[in-house]
């Protein structure tokens, strides 16, 4: 089995996303030796620690790697992991994650780690503003478990603060009796995320800086929502009522499936990434079918749609609480971090925007943890200012 295949299968297994065939392959690999079993167990723990997996240092790769390796002192624990040489041949990114884990979670105060000023920039949290059709505005962070009633439509909306969920679903509702469609709007700010269940049972996870408009109750013919930002959908199957996500000039059409949709105003495109089922991505003058494992992009300027096969985790891992990047420019990484931590990044040298990383980190970590990881896999320096802005420069 190829090392890339094992890496991806172990990752998906940790997320309960393996297909039957992949699970069979993993079982066969595990049964091949006790060493494989030990490697699997420890690799799973490495994934869960949330460390950066690896960084491609286009400024000085040997120097950056050397800095990390010099800071890892041999210990009884490290010596016990004799299988790491074997694991490195299979999943180098995960080995690098272990290195980062020991550097930042197990080092002593004598280690030479760059110091980043602590201004307590914490990760995002579940928060959103709900706008009802009767004109009311509700900050969902200020509401306890309750039933919210939309005055215009007189519909009950179940709110659960422990699960941070809005639930519009009512299995007894008769859609043929729905007259005029009445809309609600939910706005998730920077540093936030939220989840809601629409009237048909469709589940939607909303990422930071996202807005979605949707009917309190869908009618009997169609289901349609308007999205600005990013969201992950698990659409309730209903062949008689296609589900549409409107993103400006682009539109995603589906009957029942799971996919990620992204369309931020400042970006030059809208995209859809399919994890199950089938969808169609429509543009102004064209349409492309999207299959599982494919990423479709609508260019707002050219009006063209392109489709390519991708590794799904790089587009959907945020929904599972993880940042995941693959050869991603620092400009895009800081964009994602900025939304989640509600901070602004500035580059002292514009060339640093094109420095690329591949790796992962848990979204529930404070930002200084991730910045330290980036500093130690690249020739970069992050300086957190008193106003919370972050400047990026060369070391």
pLDDT band at 53 (very low <50, low <70, confident <90, very high): very low
pLDDT tens column, 230-270:
999 999 999 889 999 999 999 999 978 999 999 999 999 99
Question: How high is the pLDDT of residue 173?
Answer: 65
Residue scoring higher pLDDT (114 or 39): 39
pLDDT band at 44 (very low <50, low <70, confident <90, very high): low
Half-sphere exposure for 379 (CA within 13 Å, toward CB): 14
Pairwise CA distance, residues 145 & 233, whole Å: 24
Low-confidence winner among 21-30, 52-61, 77-86, 324-333 (lowest mean pLDDT): 77-86
Question: How high is the pLDDT of residue 45?
Answer: 54
Question: How high is the pLDDT of residue 251?
Answer: 97
Give the best-scoring range by mean pLDDT among 26-30, 41-45, 176-180, 299-303. Answer: 299-303
Q: What is the DSSP letter of 377?
A: H
CATH class of 1-120+323-395: alpha beta
Give the best-scoring range by mean pLDDT among 38-52, 127-141, 156-170, 361-375. Answer: 127-141
Question: How high is the pLDDT of residue 248?
Answer: 93
- Express as a percent the part of the chain with pLDDT over 90: 44
In angstroms, the Cα distances linking 391 to 28, 64, 222 are 48, 20, 48
pLDDT band at 118 (very low <50, low <70, confident <90, very high): low
- State the DSSP string of 128-183: -EEE-TTS-EEEGGG--SEEEEETTTTEEEEEETTTTEEE---TT--GGG--S--E
Pairwise CA distance, residues 256 & 5, whole Å: 29
Question: How high is the pLDDT of residue 92?
Answer: 35
- CATH number of the 221-310 domain: 2.60.120.1440
List the chain domain ranges.
1-120+323-395, 122-220, 221-310
Question: How high is the pLDDT of residue 81?
Answer: 33
Pairwise CA distance, residues 313 & 363, whole Å: 14
Token couple for 181: 């469609």
pLDDT tens column, 295-319:
999 999 999 999 999 989 889 999 9
Let me know if the fold of 1-120+323-395 is the same as that of 221-310: no
If you average pLDDT over every residue of the chain, what do you get? 79
Please give the model's pTM, rounded to 2 decimal places.
Answer: 0.73
Long-range contacts of 270-273 (CB under 8 A, 24+ apart): 270/297, 270/298, 270/300, 271/295, 271/296, 271/297, 271/298, 271/315, 272/245, 272/296, 273/310, 273/312, 273/315, 273/316
- State the DSSP string of 17-42: ---HHHHHHHHHHHHT-HHHHHHHHH
């Amino acid at each position: 089995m190829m090392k890339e295949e094992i890496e991806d299968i172990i990752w998906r297994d940790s997320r309960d996303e393996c297909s039957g065939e992949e699970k069979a392959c993993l079982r066969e690999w595990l049964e091949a030796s006790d060493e494989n079993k030990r490697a699997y167990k420890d690799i799973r723990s490495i994934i869960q620690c949330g460390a950066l997996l690896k960084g491609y240092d286009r400024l000085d790769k040997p120097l950056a790697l050397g800095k990390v390796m010099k800071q890892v002192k041999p210990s009884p624990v490290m010596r016990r992991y004799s299988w790491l040489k074997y694991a490195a041949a299979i999943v180098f990114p995960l080995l690098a994650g272990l290195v980062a884990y020991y550097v930042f979670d197990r080092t002593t105060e004598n280690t030479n780690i760059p110091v980043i000023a602590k201004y307590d920039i914490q990760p995002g949290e579940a928060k959103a503003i709900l706008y009802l059709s009767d004109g009311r505005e509700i900050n969902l962070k200020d509401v306890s478990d309750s039933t919210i009633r939309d005055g215009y439509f007189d519909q009950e909306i179940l709110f659960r603060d422990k699960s941070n969920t809005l639930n519009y679903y009512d299995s007894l509702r008769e859609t043929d009796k729905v007259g005029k469609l009445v809309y609600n709007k939910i706005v998730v700010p920077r540093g936030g995320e939220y989840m809601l269940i629409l009237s048909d049972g469709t589940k939607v996870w909303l990422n930071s800086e996202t807005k979605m408009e949707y009917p309190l109750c869908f009618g009997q013919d169609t289901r349609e929502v308007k999205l600005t930002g990013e969201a992950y959908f698990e659409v309730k199957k209903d062949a008689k009522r296609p589900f549409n996500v409107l993103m400006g000039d682009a539109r995603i059409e589906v009957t029942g499936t799971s996919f990620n949709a992204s369309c931020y105003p400042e970006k030059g495109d809208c995209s859809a990434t399919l994890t199950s089922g089938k969808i169609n991505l429509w543009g102004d003058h064209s349409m492309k079918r999207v299959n599982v494992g494919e990423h479709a992009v609508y260019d707002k300027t050219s009006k063209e749609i392109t489709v390519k096969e991708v590794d799904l985790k790089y587009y959907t891992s945020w929904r599972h609480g993880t940042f995941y990047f693959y050869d991603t420019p620092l400009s895009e990484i800081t964009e994602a971090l900025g939304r989640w931590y509600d901070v602004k990044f500035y580059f002292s040298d514009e060339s640093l925007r094109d420095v690329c990383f591949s790796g992962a980190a848990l979204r529930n970590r404070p930002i200084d943890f991730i910045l330290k990881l980036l500093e130690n896999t690249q020739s970069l320096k992050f300086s957190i200012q008193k106003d919370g802005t972050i400047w990026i420069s060369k070391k």
